[in-house]
Structure 1
Amino acid sequence: MRGTADIISDDAAGLPKHHKATANEKLVILGSSLGTVFEWYDFYLYGLLATIITAQFFSGVNETTGFIFALAAFAAGFAVRPFGALVFGRIGDMVGRKNTFLVTMGIMGLSTFLVGLLPSYASIGVSAPLMLVALRLLQGLALGGEYGGAATYVAEHAPDGKRGFYTSFIQTTATLGLFAALLVVIGVRYAVGEEAFRDWGWRIPFLVSALLLGVSLWIRMQLEESPAFTKMKAEGRVSKAPLTEAFARWGNLRIVLIALVGAVMGQAVVWYTGQFYALFFLEKMLKVDGATTNVLIAIALLLATPAFVFWGWLSDRVGRKPIIMAGCLLAAITYFPLFDALSRYANPALYAAAQTSPVVVTADDARCSVQFDPIGANKFDLKTCDIAKSFLAKAGVAYANTATPGAEASVRIGATVIPVPVTASLAPDARRAAIAGFQAEAKAALAAAGYPEAADPAAINKPVVIGILFILVLYVTMVYGPIAALLVELFPTNIRYTSMSLPYHIGNGWFGGFLPTVAFAMVAATGDIYYGLWYPVVVAAICFVAGMVLLPETFRRSID
């Protein structure tokens, strides 16, 4: 058997003829994709409802910290995905793809259903968020074993010359799962009303997963094992130690590292910026209401999703590498102007106020704390700098910083300067009264300067906002559409499930999954609503450079 590094530029005409996919196999591939849509639906419900989950499970801390906690719990599911990749990848390479599908599906569905039954923080206190995180960890483990199996399974059914096209349907499943979750959330929101949805209606999308679980398990049970694995098993070539072969041998480990740094980590930050960070940015930074945000994102996803298949099809003709690299480069170059335009057209009043009456905090940097409280114990009410920044962070107002050593803090809103009261020596009641007076004065100044408390739905330029979101999702389709075929083609059959799953889930679980948490913590620390974009921009740029130098082209390889 040829090594992974040996097959780089074979002429397609010289490859052994791969089996042709039969009509039955195409139906099996469709069934596999539908099952994967359900798993993504389950996984992303939490992300869509992060703001509501903050109120339900993290109400014991201040609002900014609670939201970052909710995002951290969202990211917890991503943190364990590489471990799921190792556990289920090993099973998939030793036992087979089909049985692994059934296990991951059951874990995912049951965990999602139980989230819908969890009591809130108000009912049982700190046990509620702990149980929520535990269920997120189970979801992450299940998803860690899902993707590699689905991509490997479909690729091993596809004819040579069409792997990019066939696996692109698996690539649509993440977005289709998000789209399905959006549709269910939007439908329930409008059916029960926003107040009821925030109170109890948010549970319905999680509970609906029980029905989807039953349908998806039935679909998965109809699957047959992939022909490549069946042939390998019949010939006695199944790996007895896939983890050792995949990661303890430098030849294969080197390819794993190149796949991670030169392709997957860039794909991951583009994916989560274009679909999740954009959603959070609209809702938290630009103050667009949750229902409108869901609808805008859903329309953009609907318009852009066919591009997954287009880029997969094109990658069979021009290669995987140029399309993925182009997506990373475009994202790194254009994210800042695109998000600036999103601010301008999603909340024009807020954008205009920030231009004409910018908010500046003048303070001694040495007396300022980072506006993120990891244990919920800091009330930010003793230092004048903290009082100012805590108020602005909770109000969702962007601000600049002017360092003045030795000075107590003040807040300038346009031409109005508001000194922050010195409270360190005051009694608790007097301290609260002084802070409340400052906040009332600052709120009045913000209102007079044109800062809205929420985006005006009538003022949102919806066609332009959808157009910007469409471009962001189009970048997602460029980097994501061809990557399953690329990863499958990088590794040999006997350790393929394990080898491709780990870099994929480290990239998407760690670099991508933690993006919203890290980016919003960066925003909270600086007051600049665009500062969090440096995270995906830098990672995408590094991936582009590494990929251009190190990543091989794979689209002419045989995977037998």
Structure 2
Amino acid sequence: MTAKADTPKQNEWLVILASSLGTVFEWYDFYLYGLLATIISAQFFSGVNETTGFIFALAAFAAGFAVRPFGALVFGRVGDMVGRKNTFLVTMGIMGLSTFAVGLLPSYAAIGVAAPVLLVFLRLLQGLALGGEYGGAATYVAEHAPAGKRGFHTSFIQTTATLGLFAALLVVIGCRSILGEAAFADWGWRVPFIVSILLLGVSLWIRMQLEESPVFAKMKAEGKTSKAPLTEAFARWGNLKIVFIALFGAVAGQAVVWYTGQFYALFFLEKTLKVEGATANILIAIALAIATPAFLFFGWLSDRIGRKPIILAGCAIAALTYFPLFESLSKAANPALYAAQQNAPVTVIADPASCAFQFDPIGRNTFESSGCDVAKSLLAKAGVNYANAGHAGDPATVTIGNRTLAYSGEPAAFRAAINAGLVEAGYPAKADAAQINKPLVVLILTILVLYVTMVYGPIAALLVELFPARIRYTSMSLPYHIGNGWFGGFLPTTAFAMVAATGNIYYGLWYPIGIAALTVVIGLFLLPETAKRPLDE
């Protein structure tokens, strides 16, 4: 071991700034799609029913996450063999050009099924690029950081995902305000994607000013770089065991807490609580602005008390409080809807065999083959919480409070009766902006983001410290991107599918709660503390 590996060869703040700005840009690109999922559903999945289209849009969003582990393998190997700097220059170029192309992509109305196919292809390219970017940036910053400050320095990288989301929110809000909702939904949604080409040029120029990591440069000079990083990382049990512990004892829980706090909450506001899109974006943006400095605080704190206790505490607190927080969010964001749910609960009573799962992977089911399907399809689209009841042979009926509506065999008439019953019971078509308790909504959203800062602020330092320098890029990237790409990235799709299957608007929360609780148990017993480990071994 040598002290030189801990001595930065270039200004440490230039390293942090350049690495962070580039990563902010990549997250900006990646998250634009998530913010515009509702509009993209209408633009690219208009050939299916609305509920299925939205779940498809979320699935296409998740497709970018699905391939992130493969990007981690490809670019992690290159990063451990060729170098940290050049690898994340390549990943940035792929991400930027893919995002620009989304802004030019014809809609379903223009080219039919080719539109969603091309969209998914571009999302896959984005996911591959991001799979290589994060590990490179985190490793690069950590390998420049002075001993005892790695948690604090890498926490700047951890802010980039939130800052990228924040930047995307500001651009989307600005475009919506300037163009108006109608023009934005028609063509203006393309503008945030297209202007990203300018950010790509700036970010690439900044990154090109950097030198190679001192730890990697020293290894290369001494001829100690790995010739087969994939084999060393994953074909040898000693390292593979640490990969599994990192995934299930830290990253999986971190991922679901992150995506619940920053994405599922946004989708929940828009899709379930019927808060107008621009308003939901502004409320999330305010919460992000308030809570983002906590990434740096928890990164700094992890240098003093350790990475493990902060990450596991964040997972545990989130798992214990998600249900009351989201119920409070419902009450604050759409009080009329919440009151109607309490005063006039909805129940669908039908023979279970006549009820289809409210998600059609083929995209052609109109859900009109039974009264149960007609009712559930309407209620799911309206974001109405409902219970299920009935036994074999029961005719399809819907109760709204004390009112019972029976299916007579006419889908249109049944839908009209249900809609009338919902209106009479006080169920609103959308949230009344004047009735939203905005301070309380922002407070709840801020709490959710603070959970994110607890689990995410120290995670980069933990992962970098877990693995040896010669295979660090490869080893840390895979568990990070499996956790965040699969456990986290599929969270909105999985949670909304669970809601569609049960009718309970809170049922999807069981997914992040279960994963976070699992991480607490595994991490408590198997995850080592890493804060004092050297990086050049």
Q: TM-score, normalised by structure 2?
A: 0.99
CA deviation profile, 1:166-185 (whole Å, cap 9, x unmatched): 00000000000000000000
SS, match of residue 417 in structure 1: strand
Aligned equivalents of 2:10 and 2:234: distance in 1? 37
Aligned equivalents of 1:296 and 1:118: distance in 2? 29
Partner residue of 1:343? 330
Partner residue of 1:450? 426
Q: CA deviation at 1:22?
A: 6.3
Aligned equivalents of 1:23 and 1:467: distance in 2? 40
Aligned equivalents of 1:301 and 1:22: distance in 2? 34
Q: CA deviation at 1:371?
A: 0.5
Partner residue of 2:315? 328
User: Are positions 1:488 and 2:464 aligned together?
Assistant: yes
Partner residue of 2:495? 519
Q: Which amino acid aligns with 2:54?
A: F
SS, match of residue 453 in structure 1: coil
Partner residue of 2:143? 156
Asked whether the 8 Å contact 1:489–1:557 carries over to 2, the reply is: yes
1:192-211 matches, cutoff 5 A: 192-211=179-198
CA deviation profile, 1:312-370 (whole Å, cap 9, x unmatched): 00000000000000000001000000000000000000000000000010111122110
Q: CA deviation at 1:20?
A: 3.6
Asked whether the 8 Å contact 1:256–1:499 carries over to 2, the reply is: yes
Aligned equivalents of 2:435 and 2:236: distance in 1? 59
SS, match of residue 237 in structure 1: coil
Aligned equivalents of 2:11 and 2:467: distance in 1? 26
Partner residue of 2:397? 410
Q: Which amino acid aligns with 1:476?
A: V
Partner residue of 1:430? none
Bigger drift between 472-481 and 368-377 goes to: 368-377
User: Are positions 1:420 and 2:388 aligned together?
Assistant: no
Q: CA deviation at 1:23?
A: 6.3
Aligned equivalents of 2:54 and 2:236: distance in 1? 42
Q: CA deviation at 1:394?
A: 1.6
User: Are positions 1:103 and 2:82 aligned together?
Assistant: no
Asked whether the 8 Å contact 1:17–1:160 carries over to 2, the reply is: no
1:174-185 matches, cutoff 5 A: 174-185=161-172
Q: Which amino acid aligns with 1:57?
A: F
Q: CA deviation at 1:101?
A: 1.2
Q: Which amino acid aligns with 2:426?
A: G
SS, match of residue 309 in structure 2: helix
Partner residue of 1:4? none
Match of 1:393 among 365, 380, 383: 380
Q: Which amino acid aligns with 1:310?
A: F
Partner residue of 2:522? 546
Partner residue of 2:366? 379
Partner residue of 2:286? 299
Aligned equivalents of 2:300 and 2:345: distance in 1? 48
Match of 2:200 among 195, 213, 230: 213
SS, match of residue 202 in structure 1: helix
Bigger drift between 156-165 and 18-27 goes to: 18-27
Partner residue of 1:366? 353
Q: CA deviation at 1:421?
A: 2.5
1:491-502 matches, cutoff 5 A: 491-502=467-478
Aligned equivalents of 1:99 and 1:20: distance in 2? 21
CA deviation profile, 1:67-115 (whole Å, cap 9, x unmatched): 0000000000000000000000000000001110111010000000000
CA deviation profile, 1:412-450 (whole Å, cap 9, x unmatched): 11111111123xxxxxxxxxxx22211111111111100
Q: Which amino acid aligns with 2:211?
A: E
SS, match of residue 359 in structure 2: coil
Q: Which amino acid aligns with 1:388?
A: A
Partner residue of 2:451? 475
Q: CA deviation at 1:24?
A: 2.1
User: Are positions 1:134 and 2:121 aligned together?
Assistant: yes
1:186-335 matches, cutoff 5 A: 186-335=173-322
Match of 2:507 among 528, 531, 554: 531
CA RMSD of aligned residues (A): 1.0
SS, match of residue 116 in structure 1: helix
Q: CA deviation at 1:18?
A: 5.3
Q: CA deviation at 1:16?
A: 5.4
Aligned equivalents of 2:124 and 2:506: distance in 1? 30
SS, match of residue 11 in structure 2: helix
Q: Give the gaps of 5 or more residues in structure 1.
A: 2-14, 423-433
Q: TM-score, normalised by structure 1?
A: 0.95
Partner residue of 1:505? 481
Aligned equivalents of 1:272 and 1:27: distance in 2? 29
Q: Which amino acid aligns with 1:95?
A: V
Q: CA deviation at 1:377?
A: 1.9
Aligned equivalents of 1:23 and 1:221: distance in 2? 13
Partner residue of 1:429? none
